[in-house]
Amino acid sequence: MIVQMKNALEFEIHTRLDGALARTGTITTPHGTIQTPAFIPVGTKATLKALRFTPELSMQIQHGIGADITFAFDELTTLFHDYNYQVESLEQRTHPWAVRSLAEHKRLNEERSHRPPQALFGVVQGADYEDLRRQCSKFLGEMDFAGYGLGGALRKSNIGNNVRWMCEELPEDKPRHMLGISEPDDIFDCIENGADTFDCVSPARVGRNGALYTKFGRVNITRAQFKEDFTPFDETCECYTCKNFTSAYLHHLFRADELLANTLATIHNEQFIVKLVDDIRASISDGSFYDLKKEFLANYYSKK
Ligand SMILES: [Zn+2]
């Protein structure tokens, strides 16, 4: 169902976590509502990144696809680029490209006024430098974006601080989408410091190698112990894989190099992340966030 909306995206904040930047809310797009924090796979950005376009062409392609949420064209730097390079990247590319992306986005929304409007998110860069993350957040925060992508090079051990630097500067009333979280434990740090939505490539990436998420960490289904285990991989999991197949069957598919193995593993891993983020959202609402975080991390790393 398509909802008639004046704005491409609306965001309402419901509850806030005491002493941190975490919040729960609702994002409304023309195609429906999302309760946040939420795991929402956003595929288009990664695909476009691989190609070198102009900001205008990038916007035209994203509008052509019809995605509810689109992203400004930016330069993705790495932690290996030095400070001077990061400054030059922001001043000469990411900031001017954000201005051009927004102008083209407005032109396209007007040109296609018969279709549901699309929302454009600015993307914050600045690698692991606090001053640059704050500068970029302020610069983009003053522009008329519907929300913000928290992007680029992030050091795992500093991910919470980095997200906090950005979220302290960005406008509070706009949603923040974390691009490319790596592991389940990072999700706690990102939410605690103000991220509202995420995508995450890990469920598919680790799933390809037979690694399945459990609350006690990742377990590899190719291990010999699963060869004759005719029970579901996780009895408590609601995913299609666990509801319909046994561990022994998954083990066999991986050993036989069947493509279906990747799909079934990814389904389970994505469900694990969805459930985790659902639990975190509930814990912010009822005030048990820090208890959940402590319990989850203690279990998740108990075998290491
Ligand atoms: Zn499952």
pLDDT (tens digit, 9 = 90+) per residue, 153-163? 888 899 999 99
What percent of the chain stands above pLDDT 70?
Answer: 93
Confidence of residue 61 (pLDDT cuts 50, 70, 90): confident
**C-alpha 290 – ligand 1 centre gap (Å):** 25
State which fold the 37-200 domain adopts: TIM Barrel (3.20.20)
**C-alpha 235 – ligand 1 centre gap (Å):** 8
User: What mean pLDDT is predicted for residues 175-196?
Assistant: 90
Report the pLDDT value the prediction gives residue 188, as an integer from 0 to 100. Answer: 95
User: What mean pLDDT is predicted for residues 265-283?
Assistant: 94
- Predicted confidence (pLDDT) at residue 3 exceeds the cutoff of 60: no
Question: How far apart are the two ends of the chain, measured CA to CA in Å?
Answer: 47
**C-alpha 261 – ligand 1 centre gap (Å):** 13
Confidence of residue 304 (pLDDT cuts 50, 70, 90): low
**C-alpha 242 – ligand 1 centre gap (Å):** 4
**Helix residue ranges, H only, 8-82:** 44-49, 55-65
- What pLDDT, in 10s, does the model give residues 212-242? 999 999 999 999 999 999 999 999 999 999 9
User: What mean pLDDT is predicted for residues 166-189?
Assistant: 91
SS3 category, 253: helix
Report the pLDDT value the prediction gives residue 62, as an integer from 0 to 100. Answer: 86
Residues 6 or more apart in contact with residue 234 via CB below 8 angstroms: 212, 214, 242, 268
Confidence of residue 183 (pLDDT cuts 50, 70, 90): confident
Query: Among 292, 76, 33, which residue's Cα sits nearest to residue 184?
Result: 292
Model pTM above 0.85: yes
**C-alpha 271 – ligand 1 centre gap (Å):** 7
Residue boundaries of the structural domains of the chain: 37-200, 206-270
Report the pLDDT value the prediction gives residue 4, as an integer from 0 to 100. Answer: 60
Report the pLDDT value the prediction gives residue 42, as an integer from 0 to 100. Answer: 61
**C-alpha 170 – ligand 1 centre gap (Å):** 36
- Predicted confidence (pLDDT) at residue 52 exceeds the cutoff of 80: no
User: What mean pLDDT is predicted for residues 68-97?
Assistant: 93
Dihedral pair phi/psi, residue 252, rounded to 5°: -60, -45
